[in-house]
Structure 1
Amino acid sequence: MNRESHLVELVANDGIHIGQSTVEDAHQAPDGKLHRAFSILLMDPDGRLLLQRRAAVKTRFPLRWANACCGHPAPGVPVPEAAATRLDEELGIAGVPFEQLGVHLYRAADPVTGLVEHEYDHVLLGRVTPDVAMRPDPAEVAEVDWVEVETLRSGLATEPDRYAPWLAGVVELLPGGAGGR
């Protein structure tokens, strides 16, 4: 099934469920519909983050660097469960426990596709080794790279258009002792 026809949970600004929509409908301009999402940060023991460059066929922000994985839980599916499933689908990584870091609420319009991200984004941190077995799905991921947090922050400040617009807010939720500020 086309991912754009999957259902997402619409939420109010406080994260309370208010309905559902298809992925496609939730991302329509001009404003998009606020919906539940998740962003996974994967960190190695040296404090580096795994980034993925989104595939060229992605409907929103193609070929931009983003966190390891992101997606939308279907209505009624717990965020950690949906995140674990999506991490396996996109990168072939399974069995990673997550720490919930918080929520990043944002809206961003894609200048290339005209679609809008308006998300109540649950940010999850998983810890893995840099040699973790991966099988990136080429329909989702163009490439991956391990990056120092401060190098990433510098890139986000100087070349923001290379990155997905949610990435800066997601990285800001890193705890101080995990490579964050």
Structure 2
Amino acid sequence: MSAADEILDIVDAHDHVIGQAPRGEVYARGLRHRCVFVLATDPDGHLFVHRRTPTKLAFPSCYDMFVGGVVGAGESYDDAALREAEEELGVQGLPRPVPLLKFLYEDDSGPRNGGDGEPFAWWSWVYQVRCDLPVQPQPEEIDWYGFLTEQEVDARLGTWEWTPDGLAAYALVKARRGEEGGTGVAR
């Protein structure tokens, strides 16, 4: 089955399932669905950063500081976070990612949701996981990768082309850490 054929849950503004559709149709029609973002760190607290392949359906060739993806039909956010992290990092036996926050990402530049004028949107849970294993990222998903310090990531925010949803999630994580009295991401 191709990525475009994967069945996703379609959700409403309150993240309640209202239907299902293939991923290709979800993207083409701008239907609201579910995604997970996993901030993966190495034992030293460096962030896993990668560039997506040009064949990705969403945000091809963009950099991202998260691994993750869509939540399959009937799949929980927690299960999707672990599945996506292990798949994209190319590892087995990760600890279960820790949920950090949930938000509705809205892309004003994308297709509209069913023609009703709403932005293309997806409910997103952001997680964090520490990866002590050697990574072997999927070549069909990731063109380049490295573990960067938070300062190195921040220095590249204005110079690299990043996934817009990843930028939004990263800003929320950093803001939340600031509200909690911490700086940056958890180690």
TM normalised by structure 2 equals 0.80
Task: Please give the alpha-carbon distance, in whole angstroms, between the structure 1 residues aligned to 2:121 and 2:7.
Answer: 15
- Report SS of the residue matched to 2:93: coil
Quickly say closer, same or farther: Cα 1:100–1:168, change in 2 above 3 A: same
| 2:66/2:166 contact within 8 Å kept | no
Counterpart of 1:170? 169
Deviation at 1:120, TM superposition (A): 0.7
Structure 2 partner of 1:138: 139
Q: State the shift of 1:101 in Å.
A: 0.8
Partner of 1:121: 124
Which residue of the partner structure matches residue 100 of structure 1? Answer: 99
Residue 59 (str. 1) matches residue 62 (str. 2): no
Q: How many residues are matched?
A: 170
1:179 equivalent in alignment to 2:184: yes
Distance 2:149 2:120 in 1: 26
Task: Tell me: CA distance 1:91–1:47, structure 2 relative to 1, closer, same or farther (3 Å).
Answer: closer
TM-score between both structures, scaled by the size of structure 1 = 0.82
Distance in 1 (alpha carbons) for counterparts of 2:98 and 2:89: 19
- Counterpart AA for 1:118: A
Partner of 1:17: 17
Contact 1:87–1:94 at 8 Å: present in 2 too? no
C-alpha RMSD of the superposition: 2.3
* CA spacing shift, 1:84–1:117, aligned 2, 3 Å: farther
Q: Which has the larger radius of gyration?
A: 2
Distance 1:169 1:84, change over 3 A: same
Structure 1 unpaired stretches of 5+:
111-115
Q: Post-superposition, which runs of at least 4 consecutive aligned residues in structure 1 deviate over 4 A?
A: none
Q: Which moved more, 1:50-59 or 1:91-100?
A: 91-100
Residue deviations 1:87-133 (CA, integer Å, cap 9, x gap): 222221222221101113223346xxxxx96211111110123xx22
Q: Residue 173 of structure 1: SS of its match in structure 2?
A: helix
Q: Distance in 2 between matches of 1:149 and 1:81?
A: 27
Q: 1:76 and 1:137 mapped to 2: Cα distance?
A: 24
Distance 1:66 1:51 in 2: 6
Alignment of 1:77-92 (within 5 A): 77-92=75-90
**In structure 1, what is the equivalent of residue 156 of structure 2?**
155
User: Given residue 19 of structure 1, which amino acid in structure 2 is its aligned partner?
Assistant: G
Residues of 2 paired with 1:56 and 1:84: CA distance?
24
CA deviation after TM superposition for structure 1 residue 43, in Å? 1.8
Sequence identity (%)? 24
Amino acid at match of 1:59: L
- Cα 1:178–1:62, aligned 2, differ >3 Å: closer, same or farther? same
| 1:24 counterpart letter in structure 2 | G
Give the SS at the match of 1:81. helix
Aligned to 2:7: 7
Q: Is the 2:33–2:123 contact (alpha carbons within 8 Å) kept by the matching residues of 1?
A: yes
Question: Counterparts in 2 of 1:31-46, with a 5 A limit?
Answer: 32-46=30-44
- For 1:66 and 1:47, the matched residues in 2 are separated by 17
